[in-house]
A and B are shown apart, each in its own frame.
Chain A
Amino acid sequence: MRELLRRIAYMWNRGRLEREMAEEMAWHREQMPPDQRKHFGDELRLREDAREIWGWAWLDRLRQDLTYGARVLRNAPAFTLTCVLVLALGIGVPLTAFRAVLAELQGDAVPDPDSLVRLTRRAPGMHMTTLTYAELDFYAANARSFRSVIGISQRNDAVFSEAAGGGDPEPIHVAFVTSSYFPEFGIAPALGRVLTAGDERPDAEPAALVGELFWRRRLGGDPAVIDRSIRVNGKQLRVVGVMPRSAKTLDDVWMPLVRQPYVVEGSMLLTDWSSALDLYGRLRPGVSPHASQQETLALAARLRERRPDLVWKGEYLEARPVGELDINSDEFKIVLTAAVLVLLLLLAASANLGTLVLARGVAREREIRIRMALGASRLRVVRQLFTESLLLAMLSGLCALLLSTIVLDVIRVQIHPTISLVPDWRALLATFAAAMLAALVFGLPPAFRLTSLVPRAGRARTIFLGAQVAVSCLLLVVSSLLVNSRQRLGALDPGFDYRHLVWVAPGLKAHGYEEPAAQAYLDQLRARAAALPDVKATSQVWLGPWGDLRMGADWQGRQYSGNHVDPQFLDTMGIRLVRGRNFGPGEAGVALVNEAAARALWPDSEAVGRSLPWEPPGRMVIGVVCNASTAHVGQSEPLEYYLPPSRSDAPESLLLVRVSGSPRDSVRRLFEAARGLDERLQPSVQVVSDRYDREVEKATSALAVIAVLGTVAVLLSVIGLAGLAGYTVAQRTREIAVRIALGARASHVVIAILAPMSRPIVSGYVCGALGGSAAAVLLRSGIPTMSGLNVLDPLPYVMAMAFFAAVVALSILAPGRRAIHINPAQALQHE
Chain B
Amino acid sequence: MPMSPGPESKTELVPGTLILLVLRVLDSGPLHGYAIAQRIRQVSGEVLRVEEGSLYPALQKMLMKGWVKAEWGLSDTNRRVRSYRLTAAGRKQLEAELTGYDHMNRAIRAVLKLA
Contact = CB atoms under 8 A, between A and B. Distances in A.
B56 A25 contact: yes
Contact of B52 (A27, A32, A52, A375): A32
Nearest to B53: A41
Interface residues of B, number: 27
A6 B34 contact: no
Contacts of A54: 60, 64
B39 interface: no
A23 B81 CA distance: 8
Interface string A1-44: 01100110010000000001101110110011000000111110
A578 interface: no
A48 interface: yes
B54 interface: yes
B52 A41 contact: yes
Given A24-B56, A24-B81, A32-B52, A6 B64 contact: yes
Contacts of B112: none
Nearest to A10: B64
A751 interface: no
Given A24-B81, A40-B51, A50 B66 contact: no
B92 interface: no
Interface string A38-65: 0111110110111011100100000000
B30 interface: no
Contacts of A25: 33, 53, 56
Contacts of A41: 10, 51-54
Interface residues of A, number: 32
A20 B83 CA distance: 12
B34 A3 contact: no
A380 interface: yes
Interface in B1-46: 1-3, 5, 10, 32-34, 37
Contacts of B32: 24
Interface in B61-115: 61, 63-66, 75, 79-82
A50 B64 CA distance: 11
Main secondary structure of the interface of A (DSSP, over half): helix
B3 A53 contact: no
Contacts of A50: 56-57, 60
Nearest to A30: B79
A54 B63 CA distance: 10
A40 B52 contact: yes
Which among A3, A42, A49, A376 has the highest number of chain B CB atoms within 10 Å? A49
B87 to A, nearest CB: 11
B1 A53 contact: no
B1 A377 contact: yes
A21 B32 CA distance: 12
A146 to B, nearest CB: 55
A34 to B, nearest CB: 14
Given A39-B49, A41-B51, A20 B64 contact: no
Contacts of B60: 21, 50, 53-54
A2 B56 contact: no
Given A6-B64, A41-B10, A53 B79 contact: no
Contacts of A43: 53
Given A23-B80, A41-B10, A52-B2, A28 B57 contact: no
Contacts of A376: 1
Given A2-B66, A6-B64, A40-B52, A28 B37 contact: yes
A39 B10 contact: yes
A277 B42 CA distance: 92
Given A24-B82, A45-B5, 4 more contacts: A28-B53, A31-B34, A52-B57, A375-B1
Query: Top 6 A-B pairs ranked by shortest CB distance?
Result: A41-B53, A49-B57, A50-B57, A40-B53, A41-B51, A46-B53
12 contacts: A2-B66, A3-B64, A6-B64, A24-B32, A24-B56, A24-B81, A24-B82, A25-B56, A39-B51, A41-B10, A41-B53, A376-B1
Interface of A: 2-3, 6-7, 10, 20-21, 23-25, 27-28, 31-32, 39-43, 45-46, 48-50, 52-54, 57, 375-377, 380
Interface of B: 1-3, 5, 10, 32-34, 37, 49, 51-54, 56-57, 60-61, 63-66, 75, 79-82
